[in-house]
Amino acid sequence: MCGNNMSAPLPAIVPAARKATAAVIFLHGLGDTGHGWAEAFEGIRIPHVKYICPHAPTMPVSLNMRMSMPSWFDIYGLSPEAEEDEAGIKRASENVKAMIDQEVKNGIPSHRILLGGFSQGGALSLYTALTSQQKLAGVVALSCWLPLRKSFPQAAANSPNKDMHVLQCHGDSDPLVPFVFGAQTAEKMKSLINPANVTFKSYRGLPHSACPEEMIDIKRFIEKQLPALSDE
């Protein structure tokens, strides 16, 4: 990886216990890697689902005094008014769309692929799903926000995902991405896709992290959106 900021190691993968007929692509948060989330999904795995947890490239991050760390795009601030790295967000989104294309080539149709992420990764998963031309199974968005929200609804004008299901989860004691920012994001999502398909769940006392109750909710959501095929 040294010397090449755009390179990143191969994703952490939890293979399906039998033939994979569905996939979850889950994007970690700022400064993290995919390994921890792969372990979390091992704990709630569904036999026909493959879990792909890619690692972000390393780059300097303005929010953290330009220190280099794994990041999908640059972050200047974590408030609704903060300036945003538009070029970086769009570039990262194209990379995620390429991952979706790769799974389609591997034999899993896009409508059997669910996007997800935590914090910065959740933000990128929401943006990617709304701007993708691939019809997706849905999105699991944890402790996050919708990036470049002022570019919507125009950016999602031709989206095939207007009826996708979204599970948004947020701790009500989040000191990094304020709970109200998550709640505002859910309202924005309801204006962009079928509002009946947007579920916003809050978790009492949860800071900027995940919890066992949330992981159970995620498993139930994945089971509903990516059911086993009739011949499995």
Q: Which two tokens stand for residue 169?
A: 């989860």
- Is 170 in the active site? no
Query: Parallel, antiparallel, or unpaired: how do β-strands 67-70 and 49-53 relate?
Result: unpaired
Are 218 and 169 in contact, with CB atoms under 8 Å apart? yes
Contacts (Cβ under 8 Å, ≥6 apart) of 146: 123, 126, 127, 130, 152, 185, 188, 189
Contacts (Cβ under 8 Å, ≥6 apart) of 217: 167, 169, 201
Catalytic-labelled residue, pool 32, 74, 85, 174: 174
Catalytic-labelled residue, pool 71, 119, 125, 143: 119
- Is 208 in the active site? yes
Question: What phi and psi values does residue 51 have, to the nearest 5 degrees?
Answer: -110, 125
- Is 231 in the active site? no
Catalytic-labelled residue, pool 32, 132, 208, 217: 208
Catalytic positions are: 119, 174, 208
